[in-house]
Chain A
Amino acid sequence: MIAEPRGVGRDTRAAVIATLAFVTAVALLPPGSYLALLLSWLLLAFAGALLGIGPTRLARRGLVALPFVVAAVPIVFLRSDELLWAGSVGPLTLQVSGAGLRIALTALIKAWISVQASMLLLAFASAPSIVTALRRMKLPEVIATSAGLTIRYLELLRDEARRMLRARTARSASPVGSGRERIGGSISWRARTTGNLVGSLFLRAYSRAQRIEEAAASRGATGSLSIGTMPTADPRLTIKVIGVLALVLALTLFGALLPRL
């Protein structure tokens, strides 16, 4: 038996709106409002606990966005206000700006929190139910159908790609190795090999699309291919949205009230 994905048959609009509102509220917090950020995260950890995800697990899974902080590193050294330290490292003269450090650190924490928020949305509502919720919120039909199908065929084609990559590895155009694993050919040869893989994956995807269309047509499909049926509308949606907005407003207020470093 195929298990029903979580959230199918449920109107998850409130969860989608709550996530977007929360992420926006976090983004609106001024630099250095670490206490308000801690409060936002505790709120998120509470929601996570209700969904059966402990704070440690949540925190660890939020780390995926962190490598991007490289982009914010320059301002730590290039802003010249609130100097914390200045000196020379070897031939370089360096200065560490307190303001720059605050901006970088705040961005880092915000990214970490926001990633966890969208993870929790996914833990609460399955991807198809989110697409359905977005359809309800007037996402154009073409996009909804195409997004639904992309999600449905994602794993299939990624699996196909994985197998093609393994086959390529076995035939020596693999990433740089040493000795017998050495790569074959010049850069343009390697690029062409990879391009051929992309091309043949496209052809496989294309013929799959044609098969899906034939199958759908033979079952009487008329065009829209969205996943599942529309669940009954959440009768308490308005109340939930008002609650969410109140919470978000409170967060923004805390951001203004709580001390900052």
Chain B
Amino acid sequence: MYPQLHIPDGFLSPQLSLLLWVATAVLVGIAVRKSGRADVKLLASQPILMGVLGAFIFAAQMFNFPVATGTSGHLLGGVLAGYLLGPWAGTIVMATVIGIQALLFQDGGLLALGANAFNMGIIGTLGGSFVARGIGTALGGSRSASIFGAGAAAWLAVVAAAGLTTLQLGLSGTTNIAIGLPAMLGVHAVIGIGEALITVAALTFIAQTAPDILAGVSAPSKASPVRRLVTGVAIAGGVATLASLFASTDPDGLEAVAEQLGFLNAGEVSPFELFPNYTIPGLDGGASTAVAGVLGIIVVIGVLFALGRLARSRAQS
């Protein structure tokens, strides 16, 4: 069982796709500015490290571990990237990785890339990293507290991305939110445990083997009790709000919103038609449809045959 979070093209309405493209572009733009600042100290120069670690995230997504027959835990890596590179640089790396997956591996669509990068890159990495930091601070800011925070945030990031994916599909009218949301959240709540366990184990390994690398990126901050309390309450409040939102999801309400926004039946009406109901004018009903159909099929087969020959001759030259 793998996370189904890379939306292909065709499943999202064009309006929603473009909206999420804009949102992603704006936030990645902010990340580009922020990542250039000097508050994050990396040992290697930033673009090189980001590029190689992008390839690392790619490769790390191949790692899985068996949970039960047919089910495996595996890694998306958003929070991990955010922890190792800082939230902003991590976001850029994840967005880039998701873009390359769409372009090179057809994993997720090009038009849907805005949505995929938003769900996994912006919410999963940027949001996840801030949640991780917040939890780490609230728990006292030691290294192990911050790693625990990363684990909890990794779980949350997977579940949140799954929830967002379903909501976007629902708003586009390609899934039923009332059925889809509990199913997706349920499955990804399990997958998220794998993500959390791997993230914690990987960070623990790195912290033990090469503490100097982590020291520059996310130095544990000694927080005052007041700040710890405030951060803790803020995060608990945020999570509780989200949870209650999902728990009390009113599917009819969401569907009503989708309908009002016009995604559901977008463009189902056309102004005029050339061959109404697949018939050729002049012939009567049944015969006409059959003739049109047969003619159409013959033309298509002929075209495909010609294209096959063209392809062979072009491939040889």
- Where the two chains meet, the residues of A that have a C-beta atom closer than 8 Å to any C-beta of B are 19-20, 23-24, 26-28, 30-32, 38, 42, 45-46, 48-57, 64-65, 67-68, 70-72, 74-75, 78-79, 103-104, 106-115, 117-119, 121-122, 127, 130, 140-143, 145-154, 156-158, 160-162, 164-165, 173-176, 183, 187-188, 190-203, 205-206, 208-210, 212-213, 216, 223-225, 255-261
Instruction: Select which of A31, A114, A150 is within 8 A of B268 by beta carbon.
Output: A31
B185 at the interface (CB under 8 A from A): no
Instruction: Select which of A48, A106, A141, A261 is within 8 A of B307 by beta carbon.
Output: A48
- Where the two chains meet, the residues of B that have a C-beta atom closer than 8 Å to any C-beta of A are 4, 6-14, 17, 28-29, 32, 35-36, 43-56, 58-60, 62-69, 72-73, 75, 80, 84, 92-93, 95-97, 99-100, 102-104, 106-107, 109-111, 166, 169, 173-176, 178-180, 194, 197-206, 209-210, 213, 266-268, 270-278, 300, 303-304, 307-308, 310-312, 314-315
Instruction: Select which of B53, B169, B202, B276 is within 8 A of A199 by beta carbon.
Output: B202
Q: Are B202 and A198 in contact (CB under 8 A)?
A: yes
Q: Are A23 and B206 in contact (CB under 8 A)?
A: no
Given the contacts A176-B66, A257-B273, A49 and B314 also touching, CB distance less than 8 Å: yes
CB distance from A193 to the nearest CB of B (A): 7
A74 to B179, CA, bound (A): 7
How many pairs of residues, A versus B, come closer than 8 Å at their CB atoms? 353
Instruction: Select which of B56, B174, B270 is within 8 A of A104 by beta carbon.
Output: B174
What chain B residues lie within 8 Å of A48 (beta carbons)?
Answer: 307, 311
Given the contacts A20-B110, A52-B311, A72-B174, A114 and B55 also touching, CB distance less than 8 Å: no
Q: Are A192 and B201 in contact (CB under 8 A)?
A: yes
Q: Are B46 and A27 in contact (CB under 8 A)?
A: no
A148 to B99, CA, bound (A): 12
Q: Are B51 and A71 in contact (CB under 8 A)?
A: no
Offer 21 A-B interface pairs, CB within 8 angstroms, sorted by A: A65-B9, A68-B6, A75-B174, A78-B178, A110-B9, A111-B9, A118-B103, A127-B100, A147-B99, A149-B55, A150-B97, A157-B59, A191-B201, A194-B63, A194-B65, A195-B204, A201-B60, A206-B44, A210-B43, A256-B272, A259-B277
Q: Are B65 and A190 in contact (CB under 8 A)?
A: yes
What chain B residues lie within 8 Å of A56 (beta carbons)?
Answer: 308
What chain A residues lie within 8 Å of B166 (beta carbons)?
Answer: 71
Given the contacts A49-B308, A72-B175, A209-B52, A195 and B58 also touching, CB distance less than 8 Å: no
CB distance from A21 to the nearest CB of B (A): 10
Minimum-distance CB pairs A-B, first 4:
A195-B201, A149-B51, A110-B10, A199-B205
Q: Are A71 and B169 in contact (CB under 8 A)?
A: yes
A206 to B51, CA, bound (A): 11
Q: Are B96 and A54 in contact (CB under 8 A)?
A: no
Instruction: Select which of B4, B102, B311 is within 8 A of A55 by beta carbon.
Output: B311
Q: Are B55 and A153 in contact (CB under 8 A)?
A: yes
What chain A residues lie within 8 Å of B197 (beta carbons)?
Answer: 187-188, 191-192, 195
